[in-house]
Amino acid sequence: MTAGTSAAPTPAPAISVRGVTRSFKAVHVLRGVDLDVAAGSIVALLGSNGAGKTTLVRILSTLLKADTGTATVHGHDVATHPEKVRESISLTGQFAAVDDVLTGRENLVLVARLRHLDAPGVIADRLLERFSLTEAGDRKAATFSGRMRRRLDIAMSLIGDPPVVVIDEPTTGLDPQARLEVWQTIRDLAGRGTTVLLTTQYLDEAEQLADRIAILHQGTIIQDGTLDELRALLPPAEIEYVEKKPSLEDVFLALVGDDGPPAGDPDRDGTTREDS
């Protein structure tokens, strides 16, 4: 470092949680959670069912109060300035918050109006195009497939360009192709500078998407790091050679190769395989 200069200050995290606890009667769900989410990053909160992921999300989104500890979102304390937090954060829950009676476009217009934004129709049309829903925009949401509903739900959460988006179990109940579409949407969000905190119980989802992974177990964060940092916690892998017995398919293909006539073609005696 050159004399007379100082290091640039470290940016404040977009989400900061310190010592958060929450109990429901005798059940201690969160037992002192500490977590930082850097601005513009994707952080996966990984944990099994009942680990406390949704409880933490509800605290961050001001839907639930912590018993002890502090949490800030975009620099605003969730306990003392909940209205500022709600302006800075958008939450997409496990189940789509789509109104089936309304069309896709009407759902988007409604949210834009609730946020008191100008030109809600223009906002809706832009989001329909961005999420490849323009052709379905005038259909009732009840007719949407699961993947379309999830895309619409995420589009609704982005109205107003919130700097922080929390997605709780983003791909629960989706088929493999729909999961890939949602994954790409989340990557695109981070690429635009949005901070994304997602909760998941799917290991491959965290591995594919997250810049950092926080493992929540029995109400506390037991590890927090990049995928490589978490892998380094285990001893080096041992290479083992396992003898694999050939399957019947392997034997058949090795013997027949490409010489066997396809099903339905005449055999040498003039019959077909269906006839024999």
What is the reported pLDDT for 270?
46
Among the residues of the chain, which ranges form H helices?
53-60, 82-88, 104-114, 120-130, 146-157, 176-191, 203-209, 227-231, 248-256
| Residue range 129-169, pLDDT digits in tens | 988 899 999 999 999 988 888 889 888 988 988 999 999 88
**Other Cβ atoms closer than 10 A to 28:** 15
- pTM strictly above 0.85: no
Over 60: is that where the pLDDT of 272 sits? Answer: no
Over 60: is that where the pLDDT of 264 sits? Answer: no
Over 50: is that where the pLDDT of 267 sits? Answer: no
What is the reported pLDDT for 33?
97
Over 50: is that where the pLDDT of 9 sits? Answer: yes
Which domains, and CATH codes, for the chain?
Answer: 15-98+144-231 (3.40.50.300)
In terms of C-beta density within 10 A (0-12 exposed, 13-18 middle, 19 or more buried), how is residue 110 classed? middle
Tokens 């002890």, located at residue: 68
| Residue range 102-115, pLDDT digits in tens | 999 999 999 999 98
